[in-house]
């Protein structure tokens, strides 16, 4: 507040004295006859006025009246004017140069008698004005405040007149953000115009141009992710780079659908209250600190990892609903500014550790058996379940301990300690009472689905089929309705952009671009004449960070694993060591983007972490994981005789 003065205005035929108060920036206020008129100013133009009781500023005496005024507002304006609160349609607030006037009684204003209505059901006056007239009192004494110089006072003019209607307010731009859109298009156009390198077909180079333009659009987000990806597919079809069937082929891939189904499961968790019940149980046991709560989730997920061979199902079907319920229970919600209270750190922690747990067991991720099979075909050595677990257990445990703690330091939750939380959680559980019928159905469906995920290999039921069966049970019993599934916009958006990236990345491999890249790397590293340790280190970095071009761990393994393992072995790397390191990295590299592994779209889609921070912290954690797995892991592998 920069100042408060008294000045006189001529309003509705009478002279009134008001205290003018400037509040910077924005609102300009007047107090007239014990009332408070709040005039919102935008670029010196009055947008609207609202009259409040001076005794109770929270209680409006009239409805909002827009300025500039339209004819439809005439009645409301007159009603306000009758109490000396504002002017008629075409007015100008101006200070009077005459002697300081006395304030007249509002009853002297001619329009009072004809306008004041004793009815309390007027739609524009929900509060009975005559009953509140004690708030409007005449001032009979001469004011003791002197009028300031007119030169120092602002003059506010209504921008409408009775003769002409004002121009409608300009609608904000609803389309794409122009600069990010231009950056995305420029990336694709420039790369398109560059001649394709020797050994790369023109159509593969065109697809790479569109793919990179789409990635830039996904990073800068001129439009929502699904819209950007759909435009990328449209560009592929328009330029004849892909046929329509090829461009949309990944919509038949099970992984995007499994991710979408995970969001539908999360809806059931939240709707029934079963997620809140589990969340309160966790808080009652570990909730005295955010760090303790995070570690309880991290190691719970790691314990389930060897039994559920789909990281998408594990993260989306079980832990996303649980983590979302925990965030909501702790007052951390998306869109209201409380994301950083707990949710941002917890979501990012659970995602990054799901990548680590997927690396620790042969059966923790669907693509791990593919890596083991390619190892057998390439170097004729077998990686068994116990071999994999023994090699991964030490670096994996170190990563599970270090990564949550590091994120706790560099991306901390606002609420770190809550000693009363366990007690409050137990009270909430008592208030919830016994499980409802829908909660029991939800719990039974979850057990059925998880059971099929664990024993699906024996029963010949894959992960997405088990998830569809579980959702069918929820739909049949009414726990979740199809209308609610359709309303899960994040699920459909994630399905769209993830399937689009899988399709484009898959055809980059089919068109030979990935094999060309692998062969180029092999020739380059092999020609450096370095020791096998340095050569293998370069291969590891290239293999790891080339995952920015992949939306699937299985696709990356299928395209590059054999070539890189062959080169590493030829350069002197112990073949079994090279195979098992590349196998572990095939999971860890999924943490660098929001599309690199099945759990990434699930946790990113919750909306707690902005994309820039997701990528930034993902890159930082990838460096930490490489140091742990190659440093601590290297010492451990030496100890157990892998090299």
Tokens of 82: 């009758």
Strand order, beta sheet including 45-53 = 3-11, 14-22, 28-32, 35-42, 45-53, 65-66
Q: 438-468 pLDDT, tens per residue? A: 999 988 998 888 788 778 778 888 878 888 9
Tell me the pLDDT band of 166, cut-offs 50, 70 and 90: low
Q: What is the mean pLDDT of residues 190-217?
A: 91
Cα–Cα nearest to 602, from 387, 294, 275, 348: 348
Over 70: is that where the pLDDT of 576 sits? yes
Tell me the pLDDT band of 415, cut-offs 50, 70 and 90: confident
Model pLDDT, residue 168 = 66
Instruction: With 0.85 as the threshold, say if the pTM is over it.
Output: no
Q: What is the mean pLDDT of residues 290-295?
A: 88
C-alpha 440/C-alpha 453 separation (Å) is 20
Average pLDDT, the chain: 75
Q: Is there a contact between 39 and 30 (Cβ–Cβ < 8 Å)?
A: yes
The single-letter DSSP state of residue 558 is I
Model pLDDT, residue 20 = 37
Tokens of 56: 């109770």
Tell me the pLDDT band of 135, cut-offs 50, 70 and 90: very low
CA 61 to chain centre: 40
Query: 58 burial class (0-12, 13-18, 19+ CB within 10 angstroms)?
Result: exposed
Cα–Cα nearest to 435, from 565, 274, 195: 274
Over 90: is that where the pLDDT of 32 sits? no
Q: In the chain, what are the domain boundaries?
A: 3-152, 180-247, 254-639
Which among 85-94, 115-124, 173-182 has the top mean pLDDT? 173-182
Cα–Cα nearest to 358, from 325, 410, 321, 399: 399
Over 60: is that where the pLDDT of 614 sits? yes
Tokens of 5: 């003065």
Alpha helices in 157-253 (DSSP H): 178-193, 202-220, 225-238, 244-247
Residues 6+ away with beta carbon under 8 Å from 485: 264, 267, 471, 475, 491
Q: Is there a contact between 264 and 258 (Cβ–Cβ < 8 Å)?
A: no
Model pLDDT, residue 71 = 47
Which among 147-161, 164-178, 293-307, 391-405 has the top mean pLDDT? 391-405
Q: What is the mean pLDDT of residues 302-309?
A: 77
Residue count (the chain): 643
- Which of 588 and 174 is assigned the larger pLDDT? 588
Return the axis-axis angle of helices 254-272 and 463-477, rounded to nearest 10°. 30
Which of 236-240, 473-477, 484-488, 551-555 shows the lowest per-residue confidence on average (mean pLDDT)? Answer: 551-555
Q: Is there a contact between 285 and 337 (Cβ–Cβ < 8 Å)?
A: no
Bridge partner residues of 92 (DSSP): 157
Q: 312-330 pLDDT, tens per residue? A: 778 777 788 888 888 887 7
Over 80: is that where the pLDDT of 609 sits? yes
Over 60: is that where the pLDDT of 121 sits? no
Over 90: is that where the pLDDT of 127 sits? no
Q: 342-378 pLDDT, tens per residue? A: 889 999 999 999 999 999 988 788 788 878 888 888 8
Over 70: is that where the pLDDT of 37 sits? no
Write the secondary structure of 68-115 as one string of H (helix), E (strand) and C (coil): CCCHHHHHHHHHHHCCCCCCCCCCECCCCCCCCCCCCCHHHCCHHHHH
Q: 504-531 pLDDT, tens per residue? A: 888 888 898 878 877 887 778 877 878 8
Tell me the pLDDT band of 233, cut-offs 50, 70 and 90: very high
């Amino acid at each position: 507040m920069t100042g408060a003065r008294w000045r006189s205005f001529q309003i509705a035929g009478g002279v009134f004295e008001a205290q003018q108060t400037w509040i910077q920036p924005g609102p300009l206020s007047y107090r007239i006859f014990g009332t408070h008129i709040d005039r919102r100013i935008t670029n010196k133009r009055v947008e609207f006025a609202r009259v409040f009781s001076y005794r109770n500023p929270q209680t409006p005496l009239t409805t909002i009246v827009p300025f500039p005024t339209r004819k439809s507002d005439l009645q409301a304006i007159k009603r306000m004017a009758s109490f000396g609160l504002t002017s008629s349609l075409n007015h100008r607030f101006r200070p009077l140069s005459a002697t300081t006037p006395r304030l007249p009684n509002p009853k002297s204003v001619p329009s009072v008698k004809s306008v004041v209505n004793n009815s309390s059901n007027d739609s524009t006056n929900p509060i009975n004005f005559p009953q509140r007239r004690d708030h409007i009192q005449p001032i009979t004494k001469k004011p003791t405040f002197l009028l300031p110089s007119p030169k120092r006072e602002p003059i506010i003019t209504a921008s409408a007149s009775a003769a002409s209607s004002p121009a409608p307010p300009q609608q904000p731009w609803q389309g794409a953000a122009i600069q990010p859109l231009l950056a995305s298009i420029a990336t694709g156009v420039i790369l398109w115009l560059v001649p394709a390198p020797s050994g790369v077909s023109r159509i593969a180079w065109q697809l790479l141009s569109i793919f990179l333009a789409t990635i830039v659009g996904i990073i800068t987000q001129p439009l929502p992710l699904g819209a950007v990806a759909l435009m990328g597919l449209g560009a592929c079809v328009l330029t004849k780079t892909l046929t329509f069937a090829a461009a949309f082929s990944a919509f038949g891939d099970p992984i995007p659908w499994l991710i979408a189904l995970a969001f539908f499961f999360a809806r059931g968790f939240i709707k029934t209250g079963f997620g809140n019940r589990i969340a309160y149980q966790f808080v009652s046991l570990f909730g005295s600190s955010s760090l303790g709560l995070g570690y309880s989730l991290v190691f719970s997920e790691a314990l389930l990892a060897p039994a559920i061979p789909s990281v998408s199902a594990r993260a989306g079907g079980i832990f996303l609903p649980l983590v979302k319920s925990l965030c909501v229970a702790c007052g951390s919600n998306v869109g209201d500014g409380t994301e950083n209270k707990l949710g941002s750190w917890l979501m990012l922690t659970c995602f990054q550790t799901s990548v680590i747990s997927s690396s620790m067991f042969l059966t923790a991720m669907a693509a791990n058996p593919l890596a083991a099979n390619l190892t057998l075909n390439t170097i004729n050595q077998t990686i068994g379940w116990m071999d994999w677990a023994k090699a991964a257990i030490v670096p994996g445990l170190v990563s599970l301990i270090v990564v949550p703690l590091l994120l706790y330091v560099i991306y901390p939750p606002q609420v770190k300690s809550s000693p009363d939380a366990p007690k409050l959680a137990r009270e909430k559980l008592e208030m919830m009472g016994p499980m409802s019928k829908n909660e029991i159905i939800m719990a039974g469906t979850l057990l059925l689905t998880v059971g099929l995920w664990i024993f699906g290999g024996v029963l010949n039921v894959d992960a997405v089929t088990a998830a569809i069966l579980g959702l069918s049970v929820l739909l049949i019993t009414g726990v979740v309705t199809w209308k609610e599934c359709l309303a899960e916009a994040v699920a459909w958006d994630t399905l769209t952009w993830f399937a689009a990236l899988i399709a484009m990345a898959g055809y980059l491999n089919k068109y030979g671009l990935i094999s060309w890249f692998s062969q180029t790397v092999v020739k380059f590293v092999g020609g450096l004449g370095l020791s096998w340790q340095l050569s293998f280190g370069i291969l590891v970095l290239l293999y790891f960070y080339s995952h920015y071009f992949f939306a699937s761990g299985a696709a990356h393994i299928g395209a590059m694993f054999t070539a890189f393992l062959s080169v590493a072995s030829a350069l002197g790397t112990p073949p079994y060591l090279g195979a098992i390191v590349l196998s572990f990295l095939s999971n860890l590299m999924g943490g660098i983007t929001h599309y690199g592994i099945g759990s990434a779209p699930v946790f990113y889609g919750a909306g707690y972490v902005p994309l820039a921070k997701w990528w930034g912290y993902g890159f930082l954690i990838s460096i930490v994981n490489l140091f742990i797995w190659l440093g601590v892991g290297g010492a451990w592998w030496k100890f157990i005789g892998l090299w």
